[in-house]
Structure 1
Amino acid sequence: MCGEFDRNLAQIEHQMNVHILRRGNQLAVVGDGEARGQAAAVLQALYQRLEQGKQIEAGDIDGEIRMGHHEDGPGPDAQLEMFKGGRVEIKTRKKLVEPRTDAQKAYVKNLFKRELAFGIGPAGTGKTYLAVAVGVNLFISGHVDKIILSRPAVEAGERLGFLPGDMKEKVDPYMQPLYDALNDFLPGKQVEKLIAEKRIEIAPLAFMRGRTLSNAFVVLDEAQNATTMQMKMFLTRLGEGSRMVITGDRSQVDLPRGVNSGLHDAETLLKGIDDIAFNYFTAKDVVRHHLVAKIIEAYDAADPAKG
C-alpha cells in the first residue's frame, strides 16, 4: 500500500498537506483535523482496494483523494452490478475502470441510466474513454448488439483528398483515439474480429446518414466539430434499444469561421428535455498529467468569453 520507497504515502502527503508516519505496519497521520481525517479515509480506501485484489496506481490515489468518500449509496442499475456500495465500477475484458472524480461518477451513472447523454468539457477529463468503457461493458454483457463510434472528419490543416491511401486510410488517423480506447478494454484480436464482423463500427460522422441505429451503443466524439445539420442527422438515428453518447469540448471548435457548432445548438435546444442528461467537466476533472489542468485553467483565464 505504501508503494516503492513509500511513494504512495508521499503522494498523499503532497496532495493533502499532511504528514504520514510509518512504523512497521502501522501508519499515523499528522496534520490539521479535517485534512487528517480525509487522509485517513483515503488510506483506508486504498487498503480496501488491496483486500479486494486490486492494484494501486498513482491515478487510483488521485481518484480517492478527489472523490472525498462522500458515497451516496447504490445506484438504480443493480442488475448491471456497476454500483457497489456507492462505488462505480465498469467491467471490461481487460480491466476494471473506475471514475476518479465526482463529475465522472455522475457521468457514468447517466450513461447507464439514460438513452441519450452529453459529456461536455475540456480534453483529458475522460469523456470519450468512459463512454467507450460503458459501451464495451454493455456489449459484453449482452445489453446491446453492437458498438458504433463516430467522429466528424474535420480537416485540421490537411485536406482528406490530398492524403495518401483509400478512404479508410484517409480517415483512420481521425479515428485513432477511438481505436486506442477500444484496445484498452478488449484484446486486440477480438477488436479486429468484431470490426470485421461489423459488430464494432468506427466511422466518420458523414457515414451515419440514412441509417437507423437499433440495439447499439453509439458514441459521437469531438461533437463540437459537427455542424447543426450533422448533429440533427446524428441524433435522429437513435433507434429502439440503443443508447447514444455525445462528447465534445466547446473550446476546440475546428469548423470554418461562421459555421455554427452543432454541439452548442443541441445544448441550447435540448436542455429542457428531462430524459436527456447533460454532464459538464472542468479542469478539476482532468485525469491526465497534472500540468494539463493548469494549462486549461490558464487558457480559460485568458479567454474574455469565459471571463
Structure 2
Amino acid sequence: MAETNRIQLPNAASAIALAGDREENLKLLARQTGANVVLRGQELLISGTANQVDLCSRLVRSLADLWQAGISVSSVDILTSRHALDTQRQDELKDLRQDVLARTRRGEEIRAKTFRQRQYVQSMRTCDLVFCTGPAGTGKTFLAAVLAIQALLANQYERLILTRPAVEAGEKLGFLPGDLQQKINPYLRPLYDALYELTDPEKITSLMERGIIEVAPLAYMRGRTLNHSFIILDEAQNTTPAQMKMALTRLGFRSRMVVTGDTTQTDLLPHQPSGLEVACKILQNVEGIAFHRLTHADVVRHPLVQRIIAAYEQQEAR
C-alpha cells in the first residue's frame, strides 16, 4: 500500500538547499531509497511503500542541520548520511558536520564531507607522516592545505612547504619563458588554488616573499632538513622510489608531512615504478605513519565526476 509523508520546509532558502541544482538531490534521494520525492514550493512530498517512505524521511531529517541553515546539500552529504543510517553512525555524522575546519574568504564552511575524509583529517592532526591516495576531487590536497594554513597562522609551524614533482616538465623546464617561479607555476597551480581559497592573495604573496610559505619542485628539496615545517608532497604518484625516499628523509624536528597522490594517474614512463606505491608497501607497518585511501564515494566535485571515476574503476577491475 502506497504511503505519503509531507515535510514542511521552513523557507525558500532551505528548499533550494535541499533540492540542489536542477533538483539533482531529490533525484538522488529517490535512487537511494526507492521513494518518489517531489518538492512543491516549501513542501516535500515523499511517497512509496512504508519502508521507502520511512527511509527517505529519515534521510531527509538527517540532513536537516544543513538545509535548515540554508547550507547547500551535496550528493556526498546524502551518500554519507545514508551510510550513517545503514551503519548506525548518526552520532559520528553529527560530529563530522560540527567539525568546521575553516572558512573560505567568501565565508563558506570547510569541513570533511565523508567519514574517510574525517579520519584523514584526524590523522593529519596527530601523525607526523600521513599518506593519502585516491582519485581526483576527493580533497586530498585541499584538506591538507587547509590544516597546514591554519597551523601556520596559529604559529604551530614556522614554514609551510608545498612541493610536487614536475614530471611533465622534465628537461624542457629550461625552455619555458620567465624566471624559475614562472617556469614552475603551471605545475604548482593546484596548490596555489587551495591557498587562495583560504587566505587573501596579498597575504599569501607576503608570506611567500618572507619564505614562510615555499612552493617549489621536489628536486629543490634535495640536501635539505626541514625543521619546524608542515610539508605537503602533492602528486606523489609521479615520484620515483629514489625521489620518494629523498623526500621522506627531509622530515626534520617538529615537522609534519602529508603525501598525496592518485596511483591510477601516473605520468611516469611505463617501466618506472611509482615511488608512492612502493612507499605504501614498504612503510605499511612502520609505527607512527598513517595511510588513507579515499574512493569515488569521497569525491566532492560535480556529481558526474563520481560516476566517471566509478566507471573507470569498474573497467580496470575487469
Residues 33 and 156 of structure 1: CA distance in aligned 2, closer, same or farther (over 3 Å): farther
Shift of 1:45: 4.7
Secondary structure of 2:273 counterpart = coil
Assess if the C-alpha contact under 8 Å between 1:111 and 1:117 holds in 2: yes
**Partner residue in 2 for 1:40:** 57
Is 1:271 the equivalent of 2:284? yes
Aligned residue identity for 1:238:
L
**Partner residue in 1 for 2:136:** 123
Match of 1:291 among 277, 280, 304: 304
Secondary structure of 1:165 counterpart = coil
Match of 2:100 among 89, 99, 103: 89
**Partner residue in 2 for 1:110:** 123
Assess if the C-alpha contact under 8 Å between 2:15 and 2:42 holds in 1: no
Shift of 1:13: 2.4
**Partner residue in 2 for 1:142:** 155
1:11-61: CA deviation from partner (whole Å, max 9, x where unpaired): 43211213446688665543455654554345445442466xx5522xx33
Is 1:219 the equivalent of 2:232? yes
1:249-278: CA deviation from partner (whole Å, max 9, x where unpaired): 111111123222110110110001131111
- Counterparts of 1:299 and 1:21 in 2: how far apart (Å)? 32
Q: Which range moves more in the overlay, 188-197 or 217-226?
A: 188-197
- Counterparts of 1:16 and 1:182 in 2: how far apart (Å)? 34
Secondary structure of 1:90 counterpart = strand
Shift of 1:139: 1.8
Structure of higher CA gyration radius: 2
Residues 168 and 32 of structure 1: CA distance in aligned 2, closer, same or farther (over 3 Å): farther
**Partner residue in 2 for 1:56:** 71
Shift of 1:121: 1.1
Spell out the pairing of 1:250-265 with structure 2 (5 A cutoff). 250-265=263-278
Secondary structure of 2:162 counterpart = strand
Task: Mark the runs of 5 or more structure 2 residues left unpaired by the alignment.
Answer: 1-13
Aligned CA-pair RMSD: 2.8
Residues 278 and 71 of structure 1: CA distance in aligned 2, closer, same or farther (over 3 Å): farther
1:204-247: CA deviation from partner (whole Å, max 9, x where unpaired): 00111122212221100000111111111111111122111000
Residues 197 and 32 of structure 1: CA distance in aligned 2, closer, same or farther (over 3 Å): farther
**Partner residue in 1 for 2:246:** 233
Secondary structure of 2:291 counterpart = strand
Aligned residue identity for 1:247:
T
| TM-score, normalising length: structure 1 | 0.84
| TM-score, normalising length: structure 2 | 0.81
Shift of 1:291: 2.1
How many residue pairs align between the two structures? 293
**Partner residue in 2 for 1:80:** none
- Counterparts of 1:299 and 1:25 in 2: how far apart (Å)? 39
Assess if the C-alpha contact under 8 Å between 1:50 and 1:56 holds in 2: yes
Assess if the C-alpha contact under 8 Å between 2:20 and 2:26 holds in 1: no
